[in-house]
Amino acid sequence: MSEVKTNKLTGTTSAGDIDVTSEGGAVTFQLQQGLAKVWTNFDGSGTVSIRDGNNAASLTDSGTGLYSVNYTNNMANDDYATNVSNIMQNSQINGTSGYLTSSVALRFRNSSFSNTDSALVAVSVKGDLA
């Protein structure tokens, strides 16, 4: 078994260009493209608060079931992907209600399509940082 210890990875072609070989060995992909650039776990009920995260500067509570996750470092554009989950029963994520380079807006609704707060929300963002 081998072990590599380092504090920094730098590509040889360009500093941010690091290829990783797939599990089957047939293809490579860029390491940075597969990393979450923002993630957070937050309490969206009562006084909203971030439990933990990376590159999530703050939250905005825009009303019942409406939140914005504000980034510490902006995304390069608004063409990124998000994964969002919560623990409410009989609720649905109505999707994001807005992608900005500096934040993403979220909306949660219950089975009656009324906006509703969620006590546990997890969000991750994949795309290119500015």
The pLDDT tens digits for 28-79 are 778 787 789 999 999 999 899 999 999 999 999 999 999 999 999 999 999 9
Nearest 5°: phi and psi at 70?
-100, 130
pLDDT by residue (tens digit) across 63-121? 999 999 999 999 999 999 999 988 765 556 566 778 999 999 999 888 888 898 988 99
Instruction: Tell whether 12 is covered by a domain.
Output: no
Question: Is residue 29 one of the residues assigned to a domain?
Answer: no
Residue 27 domain-assigned? no
Q: Domain for residue 52, yes or no?
A: yes
Domain-located, residue 24: no
**Alpha carbon distance 121, 110 (integer Å):** 14
Which of 102, 107, 98, 105 minimizes the C-alpha distance to 77?
Answer: 102
Q: Report the alpha-carbon distance of residue 89 to residue 11 in Å, rounded.
A: 45
Give me the domain span that covers residue 64: 36-126
pTM here is: 0.82
- Is a pLDDT exceeding 60 seen at residue 129? yes
Residue 14: what are its φ and ψ, rounded to 5°? -145, 155
